[in-house]
Structure 1
Amino acid sequence: MDFLQAPPRSLVFDLGDVLFTWSANTTTSIPAQKLRDILSTPIWCSYERGEISRDVCYELSAQQFSLPASEIAEAFAQARESLQPDLAIVSFLRELKKDPSIHVYAMSNIGKEDFEEIATKTDWGIFDRVFTSATAGMRKPELRFYRHVLDHINLAGNQVVFIDDKEENVNGAQAVGIRGFVFGKLTAHMLHEMLNNPVGKGWRYLFQNAKQCDSITDGGVVFADNFARLLVADTLKDRSLVDLSWGSKKTWNFFSGKPVLIPEGIFPDDLDTTALALRVLQPSPTEVTSSILDMMAEYVREDGSFQTYFDRSKDRVDPIVSANILACFYYYNRGHELGRTLDYVRLTLLNRSYIQGTRYYSSPDCCLGFIGRLLRSSSDDHLQATLGSLLESRVRERLGLGGSALDLAMRIITCTQLGVQCERDRRALLDLQCDDGSWEGGWLYQYGRSGVKIGNRAVTTAMAIAALSS
């Protein structure tokens, strides 16, 4: 599936002709165009990199343009005096500063002495940091300057939006993967829409909360689980949302800490969580993955279903667990080894065995959603032919039936991938968004023995983002 990009985690603004307006018209004998010509010379670039002082820059420019150095100094002094902050942009940046999920930076080609003189022209507290060419020893559009900024703010290029009035500077930013836009009258409106549409608000909620995305039972017990964190990263294809790494593990446990509501206090690692971790974290070398898949294949039963746990004394099965494991095998191009499992999943669809939920997954829409995820795991012709049309007919049966935000989101995702129109459900999902940008967690899974239901707000929000972005 195609997803809209996440909104940026930081915005980087130019100063001149973006934050500030200024005039090159002065009372000196130097025409405005001549003043601009001086700004584009290698001499001025050296000044902006901090390689020469401003006085030396004026002297060298005077020689090049046959002008008095004092006249050049006066012209630029008047130009600096004309600097005026764009109050609309300043107001927009102040609003952004209220959002802890967004950081705002300035990045400017400016000499040391000039920057010191304009220090009183605006409230620099609207920026988390200002990067000047004089301090960095490099200037836009040199690619190393953009990389320098990315290194210091510790973000990837696609997590950053850069705004500049010069197209060549925007092109430089784009060359290192930054999302760049040439500044214009509609820039603030465009950024506001990017950050504050329903999808953008959902992302921003996850930026702030996904790493603490605890699950909760229908009895109010809160706990941390690996499956939810992995599912958030898998749904949005963004591992930076969660703090998980493969490490030295061979298998994974549903719980990331002490098991809750388990009378004996012992909960074995399971194939469902392990399959999801293999998909999201992709351990290396490939031999590690192959050996784990080989081990998992030993837990398939005669009818094609998989045992849920790496504990043969706990003989538990669930068709959606089997579908999730099969998705992992298909992702690693080994799905053809599990033909009986594919038939088992098909029978689940054919017989509507999911309609009251399954042992571990209580919602029929979640069940169909995970089978849809299985279809998305591979373009294998046999997989698509076996499940595609049957899944489409089953998901059509669910249209307009309402449900929780999670039910609606997973239904919409599955409908969209199969080309099924679902505008009524899409509108219903939009109506359920909370003021903080999240969606309330519906019941994603349940304890097999007790039927205690478990939800997770971050998972539901990730699913809603995916649904509304598709």
Structure 2
Amino acid sequence: MASNQYDTIIFDIGDVLFDWDASAITALPPKMIRLMMHTETWHELDRNTVPTDKAYQILGNQFDVDPSLVRLALEQAQSTLRVNDEALDFIHELAAAKARDAGQIKVYAMSNIAEEHMGFIKKIPSFPWSIFDRVFTSFGAGMRKPDLCFYRHVIQETGCNPSSTLYLDDKPENICAGRLLGLRGEIVDPHQRSRAFNIARNLLLKDASRRAERFLYTHAGKLDSVISGAGRDVVLEDNFAQLLIWGLTGMGGIVYLGWPDGALTGGYQEQPDMVGPASPAPASDDSFSSSSDRSSTCLNDSAASVYSEEQEFSTKQSLWNYFARNHTPESKAFPPDLDTTSIAYMTVPPTHPYHHRLAHPALTAEAMFANRDAEGYFETYFSSDRRGRVNPEVSVSVLRFLNKFGSAGQIPGIPNLDVKDERIDKTKKLVVDCLARRASLYGNRYYPHPETFLYYVSMLCSECKDTSPNLHADLAENLEQALMERLHVSINALALAMRVRACQLAGLRTELVQPDLDSLLGMQEADGGWPAGDFCCHGKAQSMRIGSRGLTTALAWRILKDYNL
């Protein structure tokens, strides 16, 4: 992704670098003080075109109060001024970056402020004014924001390139003026101040991916999902998110898994050769042997076997469960599912020490084909007790599995997706129609947001471009437009990350995706991770939502890496 290389930042001072407490003002009502700040007299005081005492006299007359009370109220306000902690942390990071990069980053301040008030702020202890290359004040320039002449003055004096300059302010009209002249203005909202500082941190210090990677390794083995909606967040240990994290990052050492045969690896039972980054998921099926010694540990001894209901779940080497551990009554009742099984086979690399425990893909494909309903659609669960649960996202995962292992006809029994085959024709049409008709616009039983389906489809579309060009064309015809319709729709962090990743895989133009990418960058938290968000449902009434900080962070990390940010 082409992106401006930011090397300059301009801070507002009041309500950005410093906060004040209106409740401490007793001389006059705080509301009156705020009204005074919007008068022309106050603006003249900012521009230094009227003396302070005269300004207080005029304001007193305008608001029918004693001028001495105006001064006292402002002194009370000044006495409450405190450095904003988030701003101070960021300032220290900038100072370190300036020292490391020999001053390549330029830091300025630009404020509407009277000379007397600036003198008071300068006396506040422990604020590192030395980091600023220059401080521009309205009283010094004789101009104030949002007058465009003040911005032109700052740009001319600093020699900064507006397109590579970040500008943080708490007033929308000031941001508007800055953007009119080409600055990258970001609003500092008092209710979500972290957003602006995170955007500035990530674009100026260019360390978003490094911080995300540090979060993933710091929380290795503890990247649990959470269930919200039950009155409190409940930790959920699931294979599903772990596999997705591994597939996105290639970092096998940071995840844990509960294998089909009951083995626990990673965060539960550390394997010496699993520590540190693992190879990305294999691109072919070369790791699977058809020899009898390999298949002897699989679901059945023969690749041609047909699963009967009695023996379908008697052996567990092939079919993966959503849950990593069955530690609740509800999780114990859950059978394996096609979604987790498909993703596991696309993720576990041949270098993994437990890889030999997986059944041959042909055997797993047989189990999937045997798990279709009367109309020929794939069911979600490998269970006769959970029939009638056909799901678009699960259908996409099955097609991805079949594309991986049957794309070139390398495994007998697994069809190429472009070949007419009654075992997959209904499912292909379901997926294509779901995309074309926006059937998942309002989500569905298991996945409440359309972003999940679009993310799944974008992966399938990308993966089958060369192996199944006809299906690729059918999907690509509607995928870009479907994604564009979702751009800039407000949604939680995990669903947003899925949307941006889907746009990235689909090759949408940079300028279309940039606002959503900016929103995602603004959600990065102090520890380098992203919020858990949510992307799927849990519980009989589907009232509880499942999210994962690890998965959101892994998606963001992958996005940043592939955009070279």
Matches within 5 A, 1:73-92: none
> Which structure: greater helix fraction?
1
Q: C-alpha offsets along residues 221-255 of structure 1, whole Å, 9 cap, x if unaligned?
A: 21200101001011223323323485752211111
Q: In structure 2, the residue corresponding to 1:439 is in which secondary structure?
A: coil
Instruction: Say whether 1:209 aligns with 2:219.
Output: yes
Structure 1 residues 214 and 342: alpha-carbon distance in aligned structure 2, compared to 1, 3 A threshold: same
- Matching residue of 1:456: 548
Instruction: Say whether 1:305 aligns with 2:352.
Output: no
Instruction: Say whether 1:236 aligns with 2:249.
Output: yes
User: What letter is aligned with 1:325?
Assistant: V
Q: C-alpha offsets along residues 104-158 of structure 1, whole Å, 9 cap, x if unaligned?
A: xxxxxxxxxxxxxxxxxxxxxxxxxxxxxxxxxxxxxxxxxxxxxxxxxxxxxxx
Structure 1 residues 288 and 364: alpha-carbon distance in aligned structure 2, compared to 1, 3 A threshold: same
Structure 1 residues 261 and 431: alpha-carbon distance in aligned structure 2, compared to 1, 3 A threshold: farther
Structure 1 residues 417 and 265: alpha-carbon distance in aligned structure 2, compared to 1, 3 A threshold: closer
- Matching residue of 1:58: none
1:210 and 1:458 in contact (8 A); partners too: no
Matches within 5 A, 1:117-156: none
Q: In structure 1, the residue corresponding to 2:221 is in which secondary structure?
A: helix
Q: C-alpha offsets along residues 206-230 of structure 1, whole Å, 9 cap, x if unaligned?
A: 1121421111111212120010100
User: What letter is aligned with 1:297?
Assistant: F
- Matching residue of 1:52: none
Equivalent in 321, 325, 330 of residue 403 of structure 2: 330
Equivalent in 489, 502, 510 of residue 401 of structure 1: 489
1:305 and 1:318 in contact (8 A); partners too: no
Query: 2: distance between equivalents of 1:444 and 1:363?
Result: 6
Structure 1 residues 253 and 458: alpha-carbon distance in aligned structure 2, compared to 1, 3 A threshold: same
- Matching residue of 1:346: 432
- Matching residue of 2:68: none
Structure 1 residues 222 and 246: alpha-carbon distance in aligned structure 2, compared to 1, 3 A threshold: closer
Normalising by structure 2, we get a TM-score of 0.46
- Matching residue of 1:43: none
Matches within 5 A, 1:356-395: 356-379=442-465, 380-395=468-483
- Matching residue of 2:391: 318
Alpha-carbon offset, residue 372 of structure 1: 1.1
- Structure 1 runs not aligned, ≥5 long: 2-87, 93-191
Q: In structure 2, the residue corresponding to 1:332 is in which secondary structure?
A: helix
Query: 1: distance between equivalents of 2:374 and 2:484?
Result: 32
Same amino acid, percent of matched pairs? 30
Alpha-carbon offset, residue 431 of structure 1: 0.5
Query: 2: distance between equivalents of 1:423 and 1:194?
Result: 16
1:194 and 1:200 in contact (8 A); partners too: no
Matches within 5 A, 1:87-236: 197-218=207-228, 219=230, 220-236=233-249
User: What letter is aligned with 1:351?
Assistant: R
2:380 and 2:394 in contact (8 A); partners too: yes
Q: In structure 2, the residue corresponding to 1:216 is in which secondary structure?
A: strand
2:259 and 2:324 in contact (8 A); partners too: no
2:497 and 2:552 in contact (8 A); partners too: yes
Alpha-carbon offset, residue 196 of structure 1: 6.7
Structure 1 residues 210 and 373: alpha-carbon distance in aligned structure 2, compared to 1, 3 A threshold: farther
Alpha-carbon offset, residue 448 of structure 1: 6.1
- Structure 2 runs not aligned, ≥5 long: 2-95, 101-201, 262-316, 350-354, 407-413
User: What letter is aligned with 1:331?
Assistant: K
User: What letter is aligned with 2:430?
Assistant: Y
Structure 1 residues 285 and 273: alpha-carbon distance in aligned structure 2, compared to 1, 3 A threshold: closer
Equivalent in 314, 321, 334 of residue 267 of structure 1: 334
Normalising by structure 1, we get a TM-score of 0.55
User: What letter is aligned with 1:234?
Assistant: G
- Matching residue of 1:253: 321
